Amino acid sequence: MRQLSPGLFLVLVAFTIPLAVEFRTVAGFFGFDLPFISMILFEVVLLAILTGVYVLGRLTPDEDTATTS
Amino acid sequence: MEIHRYEKIWLAGALLLIVGFIATISYGAVGAGIEMVDDDGGQIEPNAISDHPKFSEPGTYKTGENEYDVYVVAYQFAFDPGTSDPIRVPANSEVTFHITSRDVVHGFEIVGTNANTMAIPGQVATITVEFGEPTEYGLLCHEYCGSAHHAMEGSIQVVPQSQWNESMVVN
Amino acid sequence: MATFVDRYPDEAKVVQASFAVAFIALGIGAFFGLIQALHRTNILRVIDSVDYYTLLTAHGVLLALVFTIFFLVGVFTWAIAKGFERPLPDIRLTWAWFGLMTTGTVLTAVAILAGLVPEIPMSADVLYTFYAPLEAHPAFYIGLAMFIVGTWMAGADWFLAYRDWRGDNPDERIPLQPFMVLTTMIMWYVSTLGVAVAVVFFLIPWSLGLIETVNPLLTRTLFWYFGHPVVYFWLMPAYLLWYTVLPKLAGGRLFSDPLARVVFVLFVLLSTPVGIHHQYVDPGIAEGFKFIAMTNTMFLLLPSLLTAFTVVASVEHGARQRGGEGYLSWLGALPWRDPAFAGMALAGLMFAAGGFSGMVNAGMNINYLVHNTLWVPGHFHMTVGTAVALTMMAGTYWLLPQITGKTVYSRPIGLFQVVLWFIGMVFMSNAMHRGGLLGIPRRTAEPQYQNFDFAAAVGSVGEIRMQIAFGGLLLFLSVVFFLFNVAATWAEDRVDTPVDDTIPAPLSPPSGAPLILDNLALWTGIAVVLVVLAYTLPLASIVTDSGLLGSSPGFPVAISLEALAEAAASALPHVSLDAAAGLRPLDVAAEAAETLEVSR
């Protein structure tokens, strides 16, 4: 698993927000009217995935990628 | 000057995008017939609006079969007509708005549509719009015009043809 | 190793002073922005709606003009001294323009903020576009004029430095950073002519009572003659940092020096003859002129699209130098932990989004849908509010150590702050764009109306309001963290090498650029010709139609008692509206009366 730097992790967290905010608009285009809560749930799922990748990368540093600052 | 191959491809793509935009806008103007607000409305003396044949008595004027002119005067902080009396137009008609201001710069926006223009003292803005089924639209001023700008609003009633009568036109 | 402050201590002081003014303006302006975001979304109203417009004027002037331009003169002074490798010709001239700009700023700010104090008979609630015949106190216009003249003197200072350098280096290419400064200033001289004429010949005499009337369409057109190039004036320091500093921060070097020069020359040529695109729905201007402005505007996309290529290519080169591989995974190898890099990269990314929303504005016929709606501030909070402001904040983390000799107090706070700005802007700007599509107007204290509601296609207007308010709150917090970090940095002790301030040579060196690119006189000439072509006929027809001085006397923003009664009465919706509306008018009238009472 590739190791994410804390800085990159924070930036990726920032990127999930426009995805989550516009997720409902995209669904609206296809005729699905999702409730407001779905936006929050979607954001939570994205954050969970990101956190998972981050933690796994920290736990299994299979190669020396620590040069990434 | 050395230009990298990828730069050339990008440059060509960028130019294509630009030409494409201009082409779609030209189509909108020529093909779809979306006219810009321009200098057709002419000028008016902002301090002598009461001398104007139509703006002195603003409101709806019939100009042809299903064609109407609506004269609107904007001022701090109302539309006349529009605010204290709604603008009334018959359903399924083609309406040309003539809008001017007697004091400062105002805006004229029919909410939820693309009917949108500026009201500038000394100038007359004209926009032609088509109204469909009977309904009611909101009207608002979208250019800051002073301390009670947010209170400057009004409405447009699209009246069914069956209920339309002579009292609703000025002339 | 010595850095800028050691080599050019006098210049460093001017840059420090410029940055200090910029950051004070940023703090005040951002605070007002927060109050507005909460007010217009009806979440928290700590001020009266009349004062909203005072704060809005201050927010616009302090952030869009004072913060950006003071930061710009700081960066440009730094770039000129560093690029020409010599001190400025006469530091007294440098302090003179700084003093003039600051005095003008204070004068204008006092005129605006006096609107909050009823005892002071001064008001300038005319917003930063100051459309006549809404009239401000003369101090507002005089302060603006002094500010603009100050920037002209700054430009003269930099051109004198260029002349001195040219005298010693007759055959060398102009170094890239000074080239960017000089081309930007040429654009600025050409474009500020419009606002200078509007303010000095019409608005100042009119506000002083020397002339009775003005032609509102003329002053408005002259304002927009300047009003579009000014956005490039804000953007050019950001471009300077993206071209010359960002690639270095990414671990590499600029991809192509010649292409960077081409881009700045294109901005000199095309920035000004486009202003009429802000007047697409103005009466009194023929459609043909609007069409010309539209095509010019579209071609103005070219330099920004070229910039996107060059900057991304340079950053990718840097990432590969750092060991990045693959088609996209090189992105992970970038120094995201560095607030200067991360901030500029995020700013550039949001500029891409803002650029696309700008293309919608530029589309003459689709502009009907969004003109003067909340879409427009949504757009420019992405461009000037993020591409420029966030780049300037990020750039501060690299520049401040050079001009003070002190290391940044906290890089983690810096990173957190730039990311917070990005997130806040995503919420606020996205919601503003969507609100604009529903027809919610800009520049309004209370976009909550009695006669109608706005209808949302997806979600609800309530959600849009929440997002705007939440985003505004995050943006304000981001500024608080930024200012804290800057102040804490300033309070640190001097060190020998606060930051690596070297800028590596570009991959494609300037020697590959045709010499003609450095012919500043030629580009100035062409720019003037293009402006004459684009503006002579529209201006001539406006003057022929309504006269040079028009017939509009001044109108105050706060109105008299009679007008109060009239506004209250006219706020009554007609009785024939649906029955439910019948109850509302009294509230409106009462509200209007309340509003106007305060304004007296």
Cβ partners under 8 Å of residue B50, min gap 6 = B56
Helix (H, G, I), strand (E, B) or coil at C514: coil
Which regions in chain B score pLDDT beneath 50? none
CA-CA distance, C223 to B44, in Å (whole number)? 22
Which residues on chain A are in Cβ contact (under 8 Å) with C337? 5-8, 69
Q: What is the pLDDT of residues C241-276, one digit of tens each?
A: 999 999 999 999 999 999 999 999 999 999 999 999
B134/chain C closest Cα distance in angstroms: 14
- Note whether B49 and B133 are same-domain residues: yes
Q: Which amino acid is at C233?
A: F
Q: How many domains does chain B have?
A: 2
Confidence category of residue C525, pLDDT binned at 50, 70, 90? very high
- Note whether B13 and B79 are same-domain residues: no
Do at least 3 CB pairs under 8 Å connect B with C? yes
- Note whether B51 and B15 are same-domain residues: no
Helix (H, G, I), strand (E, B) or coil at C210: coil
* pLDDT for residue A61: 63
- Contact (CB<8Å) B39/C285: yes
Task: Give this complex's ipTM.
Answer: 0.95
* pLDDT for residue B166: 81
Pull the structure tokens for residue C27. Answer: 């703090």
Alpha-carbon distances of C134 from B11, C31, C140, C592, rounded to whole Å: 45, 26, 13, 20
Q: Which amino acid is at B118?
A: M
- Contact (CB<8Å) C430/A22: yes
Nearest by CB to residue C295, choosing from B22, B116, B150, is: B22
Cβ partners under 8 Å of residue B120, min gap 6 = B100, B101, B105, C216, C217, C220, C282, C283, C284
CB B103 within 8 A of CB B76: yes
Confidence category of residue C583, pLDDT binned at 50, 70, 90? very low
DSSP string, B48-78: GGGGSTTTTS-EEEEEETTEEEEEEEEETTE
Helix (H, G, I), strand (E, B) or coil at B92: coil
Burial class of residue B47, CB neighbours in 10 A (0-12, 13-18, 19+): middle
* pLDDT for residue C566: 55
For C408-437, what is the mean pLDDT? 95
Ordered by start, the domain boundaries in chain A are 6-60
- Note whether B47 and B69 are same-domain residues: yes
Reference C464, options C381, C360, C378; nearest CA is C378
Residue C325 backbone dihedrals phi, psi, to 5 degrees = -135, 175
- Contact (CB<8Å) C281/B155: no
* pLDDT for residue C512: 84
Mean pLDDT of chain C: 91
Q: Which amino acid is at C114?
A: A
CB C473 within 8 A of CB C424: yes
- Note whether B44 and B24 are same-domain residues: no
Say how far residue C476 (Cα) sits from the centre of its chain.
17
- Note whether B142 and B58 are same-domain residues: yes
Do at least 3 CB pairs under 8 Å connect A with C? yes
- Note whether B63 and B128 are same-domain residues: yes
For CA atoms C490, C495, C496, C498, the dihedral sign is negative
* pLDDT for residue C242: 97
Which residues on chain B are in Cβ contact (under 8 Å) with C450? 153
Is this prediction's pTM over 0.80?
yes
- Note whether B108 and B164 are same-domain residues: yes
- Contact (CB<8Å) A10/C336: yes
Pull the structure tokens for residue C429. Answer: 């700007």
List residues bridging with C233 in a β-sheet.
none
Chain C contact for A5 (CB, 8 A cutoff):
yes
Nearest by CB to residue C419, choosing from A11, A21, A67, is: A11
- Contact (CB<8Å) B139/C295: no
- Note whether B135 and B52 are same-domain residues: yes
Q: What is the pLDDT of residues C177-203, one digit of tens each?
A: 999 999 999 999 999 999 999 999 999
CB C581 within 8 A of CB B170: no
Chain C contact for A36 (CB, 8 A cutoff):
yes
Confidence category of residue A63, pLDDT binned at 50, 70, 90? low
- Residue of chain B whose Cα is closest to the Cα of C566: B77
List residues bridging with C256 in a β-sheet.
C508
* pLDDT for residue C70: 98
Burial class of residue B154, CB neighbours in 10 A (0-12, 13-18, 19+): buried
List residues bridging with B99 in a β-sheet.
B72, B125
Chain C contact for A40 (CB, 8 A cutoff):
no
Alpha-carbon distances of C435 from A35, B7, C308, rounded to whole Å: 18, 38, 28
Alpha-carbon distances of C80 from A19, C18, C180, C263, C497, rounded to whole Å: 41, 15, 10, 19, 21
* pLDDT for residue C580: 34
* pLDDT for residue C570: 53
Among B43, B109, B147, the residue to mutate for chain C (most C Cβ within 10 A): B147
Reference B78, options C376, C51, C451, C50; nearest CA is C451
Residue A45 backbone dihedrals phi, psi, to 5 degrees = -60, -45
Relative to beta strand B59-64, strand B67-75 is antiparallel
* pLDDT for residue B169: 85
- Contact (CB<8Å) A7/C335: yes
Q: What is the pLDDT of residues C115-147, one digit of tens each?
A: 998 888 888 999 999 998 999 999 999 999 999
- Contact (CB<8Å) C463/A2: no
Nearest by CB to residue B85, choosing from C259, C446, C574, is: C574
- Contact (CB<8Å) C419/A18: no
Which residues on chain C are in Cβ contact (under 8 Å) with B14? 301-302, 305-306
CA-CA distance, B149 to B76, in Å (whole number)? 8
- Contact (CB<8Å) A14/C423: yes
Which residues on chain B are in Cβ contact (under 8 Å) with C286? 38-39
Q: Centre a 10 Å sphere on the Cβ of residue C566 and count the other Cβ atoms it contains.
A: 18
pLDDT of C590 over the 80 cut: no
Confidence category of residue C38, pLDDT binned at 50, 70, 90? very high
Reference C379, options C400, C401, C362; nearest CA is C362
- Residue of chain C whose Cα is closest to the Cα of A66: C333
* pLDDT for residue C504: 92
Confidence category of residue C594, pLDDT binned at 50, 70, 90? very low
Reference C541, options B120, B117, B39; nearest CA is B39
CB C285 within 8 A of CB B124: no
**Residue owning tokens 């130019």:** B15
* pLDDT for residue B171: 67
Pull the structure tokens for residue C197. Answer: 């004429």
Q: What is the number of alpha carbons within 13 Å of residue C210 lying toward its C-beta?
A: 8
List residues bridging with B94 in a β-sheet.
B67, B130
- Contact (CB<8Å) C371/B142: yes
C336/chain B closest Cα distance in angstroms: 26
Cβ partners under 8 Å of residue A40, min gap 6 = A20
Alpha-carbon distances of C573 from B97, B164, C169, C590, rounded to whole Å: 21, 20, 74, 14
Q: What is the pLDDT of residues C336-389, one digit of tens each?
A: 999 999 999 999 999 999 999 999 999 999 999 999 999 999 999 999 999 999
- Residue of chain A whose Cα is closest to the Cα of C322: A68
- Note whether B20 and B97 are same-domain residues: no
Q: Which residues of C are catalytic?
A: 228, 232, 379-381, 442-443
Q: Residues of chain C with pLDDT > 90: what percent?
A: 83
CA-CA distance, C172 to C167, in Å (whole number)? 10
Reference C104, options C73, C76, C81; nearest CA is C73
- Residue of chain C whose Cα is closest to the Cα of A10: C419
Domain CATH code at residue B124 = 2.60.40.420
CB C417 within 8 A of CB C485: yes
Chains that touch C (3 or more CB pairs under 8 A): A, B
Relative to beta strand B59-64, strand B153-159 is unpaired
Which residues on chain C are in Cβ contact (under 8 Å) with B38? 283, 285-287, 290
CA-CA distance, C420 to C484, in Å (whole number)? 15
CB C526 within 8 A of CB C517: no
- Residue of chain B whose Cα is closest to the Cα of C306: B11
Q: What is the pLDDT of residues C97-110, one digit of tens each?
A: 999 999 999 999 99
Cβ partners under 8 Å of residue B169, min gap 6 = B59, B60, B61, B62, B68
Domain residues for the domain of B1 are: 1-34
Q: What is the pLDDT of residues C275-326, one digit of tens each?
A: 999 999 999 999 999 999 999 999 999 999 999 999 999 999 999 999 989 8
Which long-range contacts (C-beta less than 8 Å, at least 24 apart) are formed by A10-16? A10/C336, A10/C415, A10/C416, A10/C419, A11/C336, A11/C342, A11/C346, A11/C419, A12/A50, A13/A47, A13/A50, A13/C419, A14/C346, A14/C419, A14/C422, A14/C423, A14/C426, A16/A43, A16/A46, A16/A47, A16/A50
List residues bridging with B64 in a β-sheet.
B67
List residues bridging with B70 in a β-sheet.
B60, B97
Chain C positions touching chain A (beta carbons under 8 Å) = 322-323, 329, 332-338, 342, 346, 415-416, 419, 422-423, 426-427, 430, 434, 457-459, 463, 467
Reference C475, options C403, C553, C419; nearest CA is C419
- Contact (CB<8Å) A14/C419: yes
Pull the structure tokens for residue C187. Answer: 């654009």
Calculated CA dihedral for residues C490, C492, C498, C499, nearest 10 degrees: -50
For CA atoms C54, C55, C59, C62, the dihedral sign is positive
Confidence category of residue C2, pLDDT binned at 50, 70, 90? confident
Reference C416, options C497, C478, C474; nearest CA is C478
Helix (H, G, I), strand (E, B) or coil at B131: strand
Look at C532 and C556; give whichever has higher pLDDT.
C532
Reference C84, options C186, C160, C189; nearest CA is C160
Task: Report H helices in C405-506.
Answer: 411-437, 461-490
Cβ partners under 8 Å of residue C116, min gap 6 = C51, C54
For chain A, how long is the longest CA-to-CA vector?
Answer: 47
C493/chain B closest Cα distance in angstroms: 46
CB C336 within 8 A of CB C324: no
CA-CA distance, C333 to C323, in Å (whole number)? 7
